[in-house]
Amino acid sequence: MSPESAASPDPGEELVEAARLHGAGDIRVVREAARPGGQGEVRVQVAAVGLCGSDLHWFAEGSIGEARLGHPLALGHELTGRLDDGRLVAVDPAIPCGDCVACRGGDEHLCERSRFAGHSVTDGGLRSVLWWPERLVRVLPESLTPEEGALLEPLGVALHALDLGHLRLGRSAAVIGCGPIGLMLIQLLLAGGAARVVAADPLPHRRRAAARFGAQAAGPELAGADVDTAFEVAGTDDAVDAAMTVVRPGGRVVLAGIPGDDRTSFRASVARRKGLTIAMSRRMNDAYPRAIALAASGRVDLASLVTRTAPLAEVADAFAAAARREGLKVVVRPGT
């Protein structure tokens, strides 16, 4: 895919390449003037961008939840880049307002005025250069690669879901949906002292990956597992139903998947009869320090989750591969 040229830049303007979504399935690489940096922002040369399930919603539908595509949008919120001094950084994609009730209460991930990379009107990381608030870039240890650093955001999402699960040491858990976040959850649960983790996914290669990380992998359903906490990470009603079926009476279900049509339904009789506690998980709170420490120490394996990389010029093919769910995580490298 050759980049389209934007309007002629003014002399001295920095030109960057960006992949912009113009409509469902219509993503184009363009050459454009870089946005100038604002107060408190730093320049980041984007190195790696993971394609997330929410990015796939945008790509396939031109929307996600209540948000609709209003202008050609640069997607991508799982990203790393290099500062002008060469240091590798991870970018926290959420920019909370800092002044609402949620922000003042320590729940910045619930800020209703938050701006989020690659969402609504805020461009994300699928471009060669971006400017971002300095307080939201995290310098990474040299032991981490750009691809591993890009997976710190979904690892933070997995950590937040884990926190909501309230699983005690030596108890059991189920993970329904073994995409990258589900596979990270499996690793976190076992590292945190779960005695047993069972996992379900319709795709054989994802079940094999779950087993490699220590889960008892099964098919799409887990009849009779009777676990303490179930994590739904697939975004389908079938996965929600499986989570509620597999958890014991009085157990807890964490819903972390994003449904395609912005609706989730389940059998109320099952949830009511079992007296289940249902927790809804949104993004993450301040999880980057923990995520970085876990990845740098090797307690969580991120590198093996990356099964395909592509340059920005091949971004359409990368999205198509991710949508087919042929592997695990697809990473785009704008700098190559």
Bridging pattern class, strands 88-91 and 78-82: antiparallel
The reply to whether CATH 3.90.180.10 applies to domain 4-151+302-333 is yes
CA distance 114 to 96: 4
The pLDDT value given to residue 87: 97
Confidence band (pLDDT; 50, 70, 90) for 100? very high
CA distance 332 to 315: 7
The DSSP letter of residue 85 is T
The DSSP letter of residue 188 is H
Closest of 280, 233, 285 to residue 92, by C-alpha: 285
For residue 57, is pLDDT > 90? no
- Contact indicator for 183, 210 with CB cutoff of 8 Å: yes
CATH of segment(s) 157-280: 3.40.50.720
Neighbours of 71 (CB within 10 A): 10
Specify the range with the lowest mean pLDDT, choosing from 98-107, 181-190, 198-207, 257-266. Answer: 257-266
- Contact indicator for 107, 51 with CB cutoff of 8 Å: no
- Contact indicator for 328, 183 with CB cutoff of 8 Å: yes
pLDDT tens per residue, range 150-169: 999 999 999 999 999 999 99
For residue 2, is pLDDT > 60? no
CA distance 97 to 115: 8
Bridging pattern class, strands 247-255 and 277-280: parallel
The pLDDT value given to residue 105: 92
Mean pLDDT of 189-197: 95
pTM: 0.92
Confidence band (pLDDT; 50, 70, 90) for 224? low
**Domains of the chain by residue range:** 4-151+302-333, 157-280
Closest of 135, 105, 159, 180 to residue 287, by C-alpha: 159
For residue 148, is pLDDT > 80? yes
